[in-house]
């Protein structure tokens, strides 16, 4: 496999991963960014830990999806991440009502 073939394969995998993300993001409540991964999750618990003067973060997530094109299964029931860098947790906006883009209701 040439370097060009590998780059094309990785680009296709990244596009496929983005499309999967776009299709499933509305099913989750939180976006979680760590130094190594990006997650979607419905439950997140971040604990600041201290061991021998070193501060680290323990992040537990459940009902999660992992942005990683090399994982064969991106949906996971429970995830535990230990990181020494900051963790960013953002709650996703969940509109109560979504109207179909096409159908009996006119667009405004």
Reported for 1-5, long-range contacts at CB under 8 A and 24+ positions apart, including other chains, are: none
Which pLDDT tens digit goes with each residue over 48-79? Answer: 999 888 999 999 999 999 999 888 889 999 99
**CA pair distance 56, 2, nearest whole angstrom:** 41
**CA pair distance 56, 49, nearest whole angstrom:** 5
What pTM does this model have? 0.77
CA–CA–CA angle 37, 63, 96 (5° rounding)? 105
Give the residue-averaged pLDDT of 22-26.
Answer: 94
Q: What's CA 57's distance to the chain center, in Å?
A: 18
């Amino acid at each position: 496999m040439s370097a060009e073939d590998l780059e094309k394969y990785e680009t296709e995998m990244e596009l496929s991963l983005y499309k999967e993300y776009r299709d499933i993001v509305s099913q989750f409540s939180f976006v979680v960014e760590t130094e190594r991964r990006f997650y979607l999750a419905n439950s997140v618990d971040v604990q600041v830990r201290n061991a021998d003067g070193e501060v680290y973060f323990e992040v537990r997530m459940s009902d999660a999806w992992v942005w990683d094109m090399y994982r064969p299964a991106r949906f996971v029931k429970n995830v535990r991440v230990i990181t020494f860098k900051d963790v960013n947790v953002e709650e996703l906006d969940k509109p109560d009502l979504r109207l179909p883009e096409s159908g009996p209701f006119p667009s405004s």
